[in-house]
Chains A and B, each alone.
Chain A
């Protein structure tokens, strides 16, 4: 159970990093890539998938 909680913390950390990178990047292609990568992290954080 404790390991599962840690994995959710790691997921949240990656989500924050991806959002931050999306905001900071000036390269639109990279921005779209960040959003694509972000989706499974969001679905897991909201316990949907």
Chain B
């Protein structure tokens, strides 16, 4: 009798566990396997993948799509990296917008929407991130997947006790062995993130990239925010872009990439290639530790009463008010920052001009909404790439 009672309870517990496992498993699998639809814009001349530049990545989780927009006219070559950290969605949206809208009149633009695709297939454990977010456009609603800061442990496991950065030997946090912005310049036989950075360095060499812009977002509790971080060879351009944007469009600072802080794009790309690197940051309250409910609304509106309260107490490095930091504002900032850097690159490098048109500036994105600039993937002439 006692045995029957014991196994009845155990049976119920097993059933409940099974249901939880199935429901959770379906949710995780849906997120991991979801593909975003990218409509190739008028400027796209080729679509390659990162595996074309470093074959061990071919067909793997980080064989990212590489969109080439080549004018056919001689000029500079700019590489724009979106979603080095996929939990910073204004970066992938900006890169997505470039692919669908940009036209290159002189030089070549190379865009990667998901620079660390593995990290875009997982969200941060324990932080209750939404799996997806949705952007309204003229033709309907476009769905995107939310990601994490680090590559998916399903693709890169286990982490070391301490991550020793290559080649500097600097000791970094263990999980940053999966962080694309701590593993530059990468190595061929390293972790997935290190191999991905290594592949990007080969891409930079092979395509003759002249400058790199790595897009990011940051919490308002973090001091490096609302700014352009520049390698020492990129300071003139970053300073001019910062001053001009601040005078004409929005406040943005400029910081010099620290010499002794290794693994970051703005330090290592510049040190290990001919291409000076810039890192652009926008404010994203969703990432603040003091935030309230972590949902799609916070991700898209950037409105949070707890972050605002922290601001009132002087605990933040960037202002926030009841308007928050909406996704349109954040994407608009990145669009204008990219355009401004390209303009000043051309001003300082007359023999290698880089002229990009068709990309909305800050005021356009804020006025019309980012969704206005995404094409309908169901359109008759739409050439769609799954991302």
Taking beta carbons and an 8 Å cutoff, which residues of A are in contact with B? Answer: 3-4, 7, 22, 26, 28, 31-32, 35-36, 38-39, 42-44, 46-49
Contacts and interface: CB of A to CB of B under 8 A. Distances in A.
B17 A43 contact: no
A22 B158 contact: no
A31 B13 contact: yes
Q: Which 3 pairs of residues, A with B, have the shortest CB-CB distance?
A: A35-B17, A48-B28, A48-B25
29 contacts: A4-B157, A4-B158, A7-B157, A28-B6, A28-B9, A28-B10, A28-B13, A31-B9, A31-B10, A31-B13, A35-B13, A35-B14, A36-B17, A39-B17, A39-B20, A39-B21, A39-B24, A43-B25, A43-B28, A44-B154, A46-B25, A47-B154, A48-B25, A48-B29, A48-B32, A49-B24, A49-B25, A49-B28, A49-B154
Interface of B: 6, 9-10, 13-14, 17, 20-21, 24-25, 28-29, 32, 122, 154, 157-158
A42 B6 contact: no
B26 to A, nearest CB: 9
A30 to B, nearest CB: 10
Given A36-B17, A48-B28, 19 more contacts: A4-B158, A7-B158, A22-B10, A28-B6, A28-B9, A28-B13, A31-B13, A35-B13, A35-B17, A38-B17, A39-B21, A39-B24, A42-B21, A43-B24, A46-B25, A47-B154, A48-B24, A49-B28, A49-B122
A33 B331 CA distance: 46
Contacts of A36: 17
Contacts of A4: 157-158
B53 to A, nearest CB: 21
Contacts of B122: 49
Contacts of A44: 154
A31 B12 CA distance: 11
Contacts of A48: 24-25, 28-29, 32
B6 A26 contact: yes
Contacts of B21: 39, 42-43
A12 to B, nearest CB: 14
A10 to B, nearest CB: 10
A9 B77 CA distance: 47
Contacts of A26: 6
Nearest to A7: B158
Contacts of A28: 6, 9-10, 13
Nearest to B25: A48
Given A3-B158, A26-B6, A32 B13 contact: yes
B47 to A, nearest CB: 28
Contacts of B20: 39
A35 B13 CA distance: 8
Contacts of B157: 4, 7
A37 B306 CA distance: 34
| Most chain A C-beta atoms within 10 Å of own C-beta, residue among B6, B13, B122 | B13
B244 to A, nearest CB: 46
